[in-house]
Chains A and B, each alone.
Chain A
């Protein structure tokens, strides 16, 4: 193969949590989501890079433990390898965990595709006292073995060199074969001969042998694919029966023992059988888990960490928030002095700046929240959380693994709903998808920060934590209802969760999580929020001339002309307020608000709050932006008030505020979430169900809070 000829197609294959995605990122210099829990890669991703003048396309296959067809990931991975036949398989193994990782290797070897072995996470393995001699492994595996540290890039260049070398000159030594039991081997050969007859055109010998092994293994997917070849299926069945009766063990057990013996022989040949000793040493992970997974301490620590996350989000976020707020204020003043009075100036200051400025100040809070989520992901604490809460989640009909999408949902529901793909059972997954929109995403965070700040003073951080707890409780109870009453299907899948060792999160990974969430937020602010603010401004400014029921100007003038006393001043102010109110009601926005406000009256929401909720249907960030525009209009400049927060605290009581927060939390998934709901459930019915369910629940809960709360407060 020469450089110009073609692209070298390479597939990364390995167990979950062996660092394939990190390796791909290091090879290509890009950044995909990685996380320190099993199964981050759920779809096939590929990257094109060039090295030494060669084009290399690297495909990252989902993490798999074997090449059976039991899970979607395994099927996806093996179909890709079998049908697409990449030029080179890069088998990524966790060097500290070779024995188990090699089980997959033994199956990959059978596919016959040229291979390069990557022993990744060499630093962790060395810390555990594991040293390997790559030459020993190269000899036995008959292919290049490269030790890497994907996290700091060690060995990545050597790997790229090996890929190019392998493509140019070939890299396979002697063909490595797994020696199966003699009878089994004969059966495989007989079946292979038959397969070759049937598929001469489309399969080489290795592919045929692999297919035969899968057939003899009783793999349902290949049996189904080959079902039109009655003779083959019949022959395979007879082979299986014969093996069973001769050995008292089924063909799949014989295959398993063959592979196991191969792995054992391999490790013995490379003098690596002392692994057990090394792994029982006390390490940091075990020490940490002794506390974090402690029977009694685990849960309180977990809750404390969650509380700390929200407290920090509020308290630490408040400082940069003030700076941005002051900056926006200065900018607004600057515009005010630079531009002469006009409609355009009003649009700029009271529309765009008020809306964008009101929203953008929450950027620090969002960054802090994503910092924590990235931290949980990368350190490996997320899977501990899943274990701690599984008992509770299970009671409510949710799978413990649904915890990970739930925490991701604090950031954004869209990736969170996609993350439910790691849940295998379809019923478990549907429930996890349907409750995810109730998990308060970062778009709702500005609303809660504004309201908790306005009504709860120094306890705002704890109030914020309470809102999130409420969001979790709502999700849990909805899950209970859904799994018991609404969603039908086979019961919960088993809970088998691997605990990766704790890892120090890398600076790059954490900052890139924060950067992507921050830029996503800014894009929204620059796009939909600007447009939304202009529309709101337009609707509340036009029509300019409205017909009033009374001649306020004349009445005010009449009052003002007579001698001034205190009662007269008061009368003038009242008149002015009435005039302003009537003008606002007769503008377009007022007209819309007057129509929809009765719907919200039960919950005590005023005109402005109703309009804010309406705009929030598009994107939840718009709720705060709308308040920003609405209160910028006619706002008295007063050094004492702290802007929007003050205006909000004057506009409603605490009970109404709580009802408003609950309504905002629940009332409807945003447009992007509705889109992903539809894509992931593949059903308009469930998507519609989600919308109707949220609206109904939001209305009844907020109305209950308003009525009961109102009665208590009096």
Chain B
């Protein structure tokens, strides 16, 4: 079981390795650039675990942690 995007710390990058969602949500995420193999960086976080802004191929997309939790990533090795 890999880590999810919501666990990635601000400023860090990771590669998407899979999804835990399907159908509409998965397709919408894919149309915004969240596809397997893509590199994602956490640009901004808000207080109280609000939506975080991710940088994917230069596009910046905000997701709530509920959505980010459905994206599986490989965390960078410390």
Contacts and interface: CB of A to CB of B under 8 A. Distances in A.
Interface in B22-47: 24-25, 27-33, 35, 43-47
Given A295-B10, A387-B62, A497 B51 contact: yes
A498 B59 contact: yes
Contacts of A286: 43
A452 B67 CA distance: 44
The A interface, classified by DSSP as helix, strand, loop or mixed, is helix
A616 interface: no
A390 B58 contact: no
| B interface bracket (residues with beta carbon within 8 Å of A) | 20 to 34
A498 B31 CA distance: 12
A65 interface: yes
A563 B44 CA distance: 84
A206 interface: no
A260 B33 CA distance: 11
B57 A391 contact: no
Contacts of A139: none
A499 B32 contact: no
A456 B46 CA distance: 35
A275 B62 CA distance: 21
Contacts of B64: 390, 394, 494-495
Given A70-B27, A289-B44, A387 B60 contact: no
A68 B47 contact: no
Contacts of A100: 31-33, 57, 59
A496 B28 contact: yes
A171 to B, nearest CB: 28
B46 to A, nearest CB: 6
B31 A103 contact: yes
A391 B46 contact: yes
B60 A499 contact: yes
A128 B58 CA distance: 10
Contacts of B60: 289, 498-499
A499 B62 contact: yes
A390 B46 CA distance: 10
A590 interface: no
B71 to A, nearest CB: 12
Contact of A97 (B31, B58, B61, B62): B58
Interface string A373-394: 0000000000000011011001
Contacts of B25: 494
A256 interface: yes
B10 to A, nearest CB: 7
B46 A496 contact: no
Contact of B67 (A103, A276, A494): A494
Contacts of B53: 289, 293, 387, 499
Contacts of B63: 494-496
Interface in A243-298: 256, 260, 275-276, 278-280, 286, 289, 293-296, 298
B49 interface: yes
A244 to B, nearest CB: 15
Nearest to A277: B58
Interface string A60-92: 000001101010000000000000000000000
A203 B76 CA distance: 52
A38 to B, nearest CB: 10
The B interface, classified by DSSP as helix, strand, loop or mixed, is mixed
Given A275-B58, A494-B67, A390 B30 contact: no
B30 to A, nearest CB: 7
A16 to B, nearest CB: 11
A532 interface: no
A99 interface: yes
B45 A295 contact: yes
A400 B51 contact: yes
Contacts of A495: 51, 62-64, 67
B48 interface: yes
A70 B51 contact: no
A299 interface: yes
A293 B47 CA distance: 10
Nearest to B64: A495
Contacts of B62: 387, 390, 495-499
B66 interface: yes
A299 B48 CA distance: 11
B66 A391 contact: no
Nearest to A289: B44
Contacts of B49: 391
A391 B27 CA distance: 24
Given A296-B47, A387-B51, A391-B47, A496 B32 contact: yes
Q: Give the one of B32, B50, B64 with max A CB within 10 A.
A: B50
B7 to A, nearest CB: 17
A494 B57 contact: no
A390 B27 CA distance: 23
A340 to B, nearest CB: 68
Nearest to A99: B57
Given A293-B44, A387-B51, A388-B46, A276 B28 contact: no
A66 B51 CA distance: 24
A400 B62 CA distance: 11
Interface in A35-72: 65-66, 68, 70
A310 to B, nearest CB: 24
Contacts of B51: 387, 390-391, 400, 495, 497
A299 B46 CA distance: 9
A497 B44 contact: no
A564 to B, nearest CB: 73
A103 to B, nearest CB: 7
Contacts of A400: 51
Interface in A507-537: none
A276 to B, nearest CB: 7
Contacts of B28: 65, 70, 494, 496
Contacts of B59: 97, 100, 498
A100 B56 CA distance: 11
B44 A276 contact: no
A12 B8 CA distance: 39
Given A65-B31, A66-B31, A496 B61 contact: yes
6 closest residue pairs by CB, A with B: A279-B58, A391-B50, A65-B31, A293-B44, A499-B60, A497-B62
Interface of B: 10, 24-25, 27-33, 35, 43-51, 53, 57-64, 66-67
16 contacts: A70-B27, A256-B30, A279-B57, A279-B58, A289-B44, A293-B46, A299-B47, A387-B46, A387-B50, A387-B51, A391-B47, A391-B50, A495-B63, A496-B32, A496-B61, A496-B67
Given A289-B44, A394-B64, A494-B67, 4 more contacts: A97-B59, A293-B53, A388-B50, A496-B61
